[in-house]
Structure 1
Amino acid sequence: MRILFVAAEASPLAKVGGMGDVVGALPKVLRKMGHDVRILMPYYGFISEKVKVPKEPIWEGKVMFQDVQIFETKLPNSDVPVYLFGHPAFVPRRVYGGEDEAWRFTLFANGAAEFAWNYAWRPQIIHCNDWHTGMIPVWMHETPDISTVFTIHNLAYQGPWRWYLEQITWCPWYMQGHNTMAAAVQFADRVTTVSPTYAQQIQTPAYGEQLEGLMSFVSGKLSGIVNGIDVASYNPAMDKSLTHTFTPETLDNRTANKIALQEEVGLEMNSGAFLMGMITRLVEQKGLDLVIQILDRFMAYSDSQMILLGTGDRYYETQMWQLASRYPGRMSVYLLHNDILARRIYAGCDTFLMPSRFEPCGISQMLAMRYGCVPVVRRTGGLVDTVQHHEPMNQTGTGYCFDRYEPLDLYTCLVRAWEGFQYKKEWRELQQRGMGQDFSWDKSAVQYIDLYRGMVGVAAAEPDLTIAAQPEPEIPPKKALVS
């Protein structure tokens, strides 16, 4: 099959959130399975520093009264072709943000549609990701030989309103939906989310972001496929970023990474201290308000240490800085993006905090377990599907989980983790169970292939992935293009 992934991010060329990990990893696996998979993304101003890009474009066109170009390169360390959408709006060294964000990503989506229609290589399936590509399923609705999949990575971000879209681009007569996300969900041939639990949750008022009715309405074409991780890149047995590599059988070697991490970030070097790590965007979704409310007391009444890595809202950055100032030598805050330090945090910390208010899938908890770092998570979204609650009596589970989004529940869960850390033999077994989990893309890729096959009329090898058989919206059927 010929599959074109269209997204705002693709690791390692551009990565802000989990979408970048997905688009940077899944196409490589699908291509190894024998499919012609390619990626289309914006040509950001910093990409030429990460990969060699030819000066001559392979395609040129006019979109929304703008001259645009497409350049071709390869995803680093792979044979996956990458098409870079070139326009001056993407030259600044940023992925998101700016007053022109809605306009420039609508331009990108429009350019992607024109490219798919007019370039020599024509995809059978366009796999769209989040609102940045949400208009593509609408435009492709009357193109019978191109089907669309729309993946929701985060329903909270829904794109520009329809009244704005009508001012800047072409909105077909049949278009429905009050914003880009709503239109994409209705017109895509299949809709997916990045975990089965999140696919169910977005059909409820608590998680539906005011689209729960629409999500229930399209549940017949809605499915959840949990993300994977790049197990070749994130491998503690071969990761050159670490002070000492290790495996589940050589966990004693992991202690050297903990001591090195403590020294690097300015914490007291003590292998016996309970070291907590957190790598996240500092936004309300990630549970920072819970952490702020309980961390001071937890640090005061335990021997714990804490390291935080990430950037986000100024309020949360300030609050975490203030907490760190009260615990010199025990708490360190790094307000930046640093992949090398992130890997060392996974490999050196004892536990990883992820108390999210909602979490479509989450990648960090899987990376933490891969490196022997026990996660403390709230049972929501993809965290339910990837972390099993530890039961000491039965010696089962891979982490510590809590249900209610309340400070006391997080505090209690942390205390349980701290107590569990005191029992070294049982803690080691808990780490080994986490490291033994299969979070590779192989299983998820098979599910995506079955989804694609069903769309192009090839019988799937596995049972249907849809959550529930519900009628799809009454949208005019696809028609052949008028020549």
Structure 2
Amino acid sequence: MVRILFVAAEAAPLAKVGGMGDVVGALPKVLRKLGYDVRIFMPYYGFLPDKMEVPDKPVWVGNAMFQTFQVFQAVLPGTDVPLYLFGHPSFSQRRVYYGEDEDWRFTLFANGAAEFVWNYEWKPDILHCHDWHTGMLPVWMHQSPDISTIYTIHNLAYQGPWRWRLEQMTWCPWYMQGHNTMAAAVQFADLVNTVSPTYAEQIKTPAYGETLEGLLSFISGKMRGIVNGIDTERYNPEKDRYIMEPFGVDTIERRAPNKIALQEEVGLEINRGAFLMGIVSRLVEQKGLDLIVQMLPQFLGFTNSQLIVLGTGDRYYETQLWEMAGRFPGRMSVQLLYNDALSRRVYAGCDAFLMPSRFEPCGISQMMAMRYGCVPIVRQTGGLVDTVSHNNPATDSGTGYCFDRYEPLDFYTAMVRASEAYRFPDKWQRLQQRGMRQNFSWEKSAVEYVRMYKEVLGLPLDEPVVTAADELAVAPPVATQPSTDKPAATK
């Protein structure tokens, strides 16, 4: 059985800030169903005991960067995925990111993961690393030919500490190249993937490459693009206990009470006929908040539309949206918080979902919205290109409304076209149903990840997955204990 260790800063439902958490929380359990021995290694955050049972005794104790750490073994809630928690006082606070020690904390985490992989009794064949927090692992694993590495870029904008800072904190091997953590990772990983095919191409250009476009073009031969999926079992409008009235693609007429319930919950005027738009997002520039702040006053001023915003982010955008809500009482509600249950009610109750991103590696929210019959209004960039197609009423095709240029007027036009289409209930309902019928399950995406795992191991792409029952008869090469003269990550 092929052994794979996911190393990441997030894993839903325990710790989720962005799309990485959804990927790490959902993909391993699907891969285990396909016969892979997949496990997760993540930090032991201070808030985890509130969400799960963690054993008192560690399964392993190690040292890295002159620090002693412990590794606790548990199970990802609601799954059979083994979970290794990296325990150190620097992660005991009730936060995932931010803080002056962020670079140091996650560099220590990556060091700990390397020591664990080299010395623990269970050894992976593939180390699947996620974003800059694990960027040094492909560099260190370069000296371990029995361990293959795959590096996933979830957001290129965050590239980790510079080389000079890394040299102050940890061991940078003599062969290491790259001016920061992510630049080193993409050079030394066996394969690199991003979370959508379009984003994989866009980051090779100056507009999206975040100064790494030249390097990413150079290593493009080992780069892949695989669209994220969503957990269709966990997010199912037919069975979701967090929404007022469950419904399905063939019972979409039962969706209407969710809109009234949402309006009442967030303090909007109860109006079944209002065009209700929703935003569930980090409130940062990447998500197109400058377009929203510029154009929403005009749009709300000339239509009977309503808007609910759910999320947190930059103080500037929080303040702008809060002040705007004061100018449109009963028609705009701003909820500055993270609330998974409320986000489901937004998807289930809103008519349209706004996502005018400046760039978007993949995006999960637009897929969630379509899953719940909420029509996305998106900019054609990154994963939004791969998941949302423009509505064409003449041919009954498309799943949302798209605009190309990152310009306020283009965004405004897309909102106007959607609000006008909403006036024709029959066609709008068919548009909702087309979105709900899209297959965004992880089972579909997992097939592409399996191909990538086979490729990195040198296995035939048409070779069937070896299951636990077959392992005695057909076993892949077993990773060996690293030699005792191997340099440690803390050297």
TM-score, normalised by the number of residues in structure 1: 0.96
- 1:285-324 aligned at under 5 Å gives the runs 285-324=286-325
Residue of structure 1 in register with 2:438 after alignment: 437
Counterpart amino acid of 1:218? I
Residue of structure 2 in register with 1:126 after alignment: 127
Q: Separation in 2 of the partners of 1:347 and 1:196?
A: 28
Instruction: Work out whether 1:57 is the aligned partner of 2:58.
Output: yes
* 1:206-254 deviation line (CA, Å, top 9, x unaligned): 0000000000000000010000000000000000001100011111110
Residue of structure 2 in register with 1:390 after alignment: 391
Q: Counterpart of 1:68 in 2: which secondary structure? A: strand
- 1:205-284 aligned at under 5 Å gives the runs 205-284=206-285
Q: Contact 1:453 / 1:459 at 8 angstroms: preserved in 2?
A: yes
Q: Counterpart of 1:69 in 2: which secondary structure? A: strand
Q: Separation in 1 of the partners of 2:76 and 2:88?
A: 20
Counterpart amino acid of 1:26? L
4+ residue stretches of structure 1 with deviation over 4 A?
none
Residue of structure 1 in register with 2:473 after alignment: none
Q: Separation in 2 of the partners of 1:446 and 1:100?
A: 38
Residue of structure 2 in register with 1:4 after alignment: 5
Q: Separation in 2 of the partners of 1:274 and 1:112?
A: 49
TM-score, normalised by the number of residues in structure 2: 0.94
Residue of structure 1 in register with 2:23 after alignment: 22
Q: Counterpart of 1:97 in 2: which secondary structure? A: coil
Q: Counterpart of 1:111 in 2: which secondary structure? A: helix
Counterpart amino acid of 2:53? K
Q: Counterpart of 2:308 in 1: which secondary structure? A: strand
Shift of 1:392: 1.3
Q: Counterpart of 2:385 in 1: which secondary structure? A: helix
Residue of structure 1 in register with 2:156 after alignment: 155
Q: Separation in 1 of the partners of 2:68 and 2:137?
A: 19
Shift of 1:394: 1.1
* 1:288-345 deviation line (CA, Å, top 9, x unaligned): 0000111001001000000000000000000000110001000000000001100000
Shift of 1:135: 0.1
Instruction: Work out whether 1:338 is the aligned partner of 2:361.
Output: no
Shift of 1:482: 6.6
Q: Counterpart of 2:45 in 1: which secondary structure? A: coil
Q: Separation in 2 of the partners of 1:157 and 1:320?
A: 25
Residue of structure 1 in register with 2:70 after alignment: 69
Of all paired residues, the percent bearing the same amino acid is 70
Provide structure 1 residue ranges, at least 5 long, that are not aligned to the other structure: 463-479
Q: Contact 1:143 / 1:481 at 8 angstroms: preserved in 2?
A: no
Q: Counterpart of 2:402 in 1: which secondary structure? A: strand
Shift of 1:13: 0.8
Q: Contact 1:10 / 1:22 at 8 angstroms: preserved in 2?
A: yes
Q: Separation in 2 of the partners of 1:218 and 1:333?
A: 43
Q: Contact 1:142 / 1:481 at 8 angstroms: preserved in 2?
A: no
- Distance change (3 Å), C-alpha of 1:123 and 1:182: same
Q: Contact 1:275 / 1:351 at 8 angstroms: preserved in 2?
A: yes
Q: Contact 1:191 / 1:222 at 8 angstroms: preserved in 2?
A: yes
Q: Separation in 2 of the partners of 1:451 and 1:383?
A: 23
Residue of structure 2 in register with 1:477 after alignment: none
Q: Counterpart of 2:71 in 1: which secondary structure? A: strand
Q: Separation in 2 of the partners of 1:397 and 1:184?
A: 38
Shift of 1:149: 0.3
Shift of 1:369: 0.1
Shift of 1:481: 5.1
Provide structure 2 residue ranges, at least 5 long, that are not aligned to the other structure: 464-481, 486-491
Shift of 1:461: 2.8
* 1:160-218 deviation line (CA, Å, top 9, x unaligned): 00001001100000000000000000000000000000000000000000000000000
